[in-house]
Structure 1
Amino acid sequence: FLVNQIIKTLKIERCSIFRVFPESEKIRLVAGEPKDGHGLDMEFFFKDLEAIREVVRSKSYLLILEPRQDERTKQSRELIYYKGINAILFIPLVVENEVAGVIVLDATGEKKTFSQEDLYFCLTLSNLVSLLLERDLVHQEREEKKTLAILGQVAAEAAHRMRNPLVPIGGFARRLAKKIQEPECREYAEIIVRETERLESILESLLRFSRQKKAKVVLSDLNEIIREAEKIIVEDLIKEKQIRIELKLSPEIPFLLVDSMEIRDVLLDILRNAVEAIEKEGVISIRSEKNENQVKIFISNTGCIDKEVIDHILDPFFTTKPGSLGLGLASVIRTLDAYGGELKVTNDVQARQASFVIKLPFS
């Protein structure tokens, strides 16, 4: 609809919409006209498209009047000559102060450039689309927070009610297991003990999820917290696999007011998921960067997340692991939310790479 509306109003023949993936520094062509030969779903690296890279960095529109000579369009020179492109207009779609997409419009044939009226129309339309996307995102996040709060209350109540009868069951089962001489009956008692311990472990997970512990907030070196988490993962989890961890930590990261233990646990939960996603060998990349008023941590691993899984991976109690309660990432979201932060998950199918993006504000 958006592409057709632009083409109809501006009387142009070519229009493309790219989705931006900053964590993998890629863009993907998600819509375009004419459809024939437009290369839908093709992916490109930022470094190969200087004009789009400039738009993403500046979060502002860009009008190139001489695309056949401009250095910023040198990678598309052959296409520009072949299609007879006279001017190119780039319009960003900004959602929550980040460029989520870029609209690219080509002036061809008798249309030599884009007028101020054209520009005003495109900017107005992009602002409207950005507001709609942002509204949907805010509504979704609000509903998720409300759901997490309710789940926390229900989990706490259920755990307390179940724990009371479970304690004597476990205690008497242990006493029976010690006193019974007949092997088969003793085995039955030991099964009760093991299953009781498993239930106690599940209840402890529920209580940890529901508990609002008081954070010890101090100015903390985020890069140092990342290094600590990486060291724990290397020593405890990846010895049996051929996994290489790459650290790319920005020296510009400021100290943040956080509980370092909480943030370390957040990183460890995500890193454990990354390790488990790699069967035998692969790479886990951890990157930090400063971005205006927030810090981002990118944790990527080789291997994709299945489409059915990624749609629900952040939902409480969703799990693909036998014996798991599925509260690990839900707890991560709850912790980050207390700091005004958030967690995003992306899947790059073509590059076979999954990424978790942690965002934390400076204050």
Structure 2
Amino acid sequence: MKNRIRKHLTRLAPELAAKTYGFLSDHNRISALVLEDRSYTLSRLETFILSLIEYIHTGDRVKVEKGAREIAIHRSKQGISLACVLERIRMCRDTLLDQMEQDAHYFIFTEEERLELYQIRLDLYQFVDSLIDMFIHIFETEESQREKEMQTGTATRERFSEVAEQELVQLVLQSTDIAVLIIDRNLRIVEANYSFAELQQVERQQIIGTHIDETFRPRENERFVQWVIERGQSGHYVAEINGTLTTVSTSPIYHRGELWGAISVLRNITDAKRYEEELTKREALAAVGQLAAGMAHEIRNPLTSIKGFIQLLREQTETLQNTSYFSVILTEIERIDGLLNDVLVLARYRDDKIAAERFLIMDEVLGVIRLLEPESNRRGIRLELNWSGDEWYIYGYRARIKQAVLNILKNAMEAIATKGSIVEVSVYASINQVVLTVEDDGPGLEDKVLKNLFVPFYTTKPDGTGLGLSTTQRIILDHGGEIFAENSLRLGGARFEVRLPISNG
């Protein structure tokens, strides 16, 4: 039966440790050591429970007592109170006994085994009582030794260093993103981790043991760590340290009711603040986009009426003199309508009449090239296509993708109006994306232009609106793709690269 008990309880050991930890936490009995964390405590509890399970199976007191003795000496030197340690031992024992009673049906098959289980539980109870006596004796011995050390005047410094080194080094100093500083009650730096040294831009070894005011000279209203000792004031603050936005949390360190020093934990929140600002900006842009979509619709409705009446007037009163006027008016109305369409795309407006579908990307690329070939031939521009002949499907809005490709190619043709004669289009597949590149041998893109290329209403053309490439970027992003712009190393002009996810059905 003991073998069955051992196998069953060993499997439940992590759960039993967690249950013990939960009970201790609920009753505020887990916080005796300032810097002890949950995973460390759970590991200790599970190890002790496993040693008790091994005792149930083998009855070997020596091995368990040896391990318990080491724990007792270690805990005593750490400064944990005896009451706290005994509470954990009793709670581990009681949790184990309760589990054995709860799962008795797994172990008992005869009446004799029922009596045997009762005897096992009683023996375990008595054995833990003997361990408790041993812990009390060890703590009393260690306390007596500490009192002797106190008489020599060295105990306070050694005990504080021991607590800091044994627990802080193990549990905190290895952290790469949290900076930690500990000072004693004389404001001397007892410990600081490498993250703290990096934050303060100092060498860690050079500041250990120095007075905090000699090493750091913060503004009088930012002496957060010193205030714990000087005023008994701890708290949470935000400060800028060497250009880094940082939260500073401070707390006192007590041992046996006496203030030993203070601990400060610092965390870099620069990135978090930037993300928060970016989120606020995106929310504002979303609101502006919604407003823009509404205004575009309201403008388009009367514009449609104006266009209709202009066409009616032209039919009824057309003369040689006013024919050109009507043409100009209608052309400008079409221009306004095109601008409104770009605004709707930027605002992520979805027209119910346009449905998403799975289509061949090359159908739209070839369609745009055929559309622009007459213009390119007229202007002496060589429009080249590099394509293996393979077909790739993408999912989205066919007309929008065609508009994006058209915008890029038209930009390339306009860019080489003063210099250059080649626009090269390449299409190929890369893992799960189809890649479209457009390169020209024109003047290329200046750094300022590259920086603002996709910003709405930014343009270098005298008659441009600045919405073409920003609209193109929005279309590509809405299709789960990416768009990049740079100067072509091969042709010397501009190079645009579009990546869109391939639809596999």
Higher helix fraction (1 or 2): 2
Q: Report the TM-score, using the length of structure 1 for normalisation.
A: 0.49
Give the TM-score of the pair, scaled to structure 2: 0.37
Which one has a larger percent strand, Structure 1 or Structure 2?
A: 1
Task: State the structure with bigger RCO (CA 8 A, min sep 6), 1 or 2.
Answer: 1
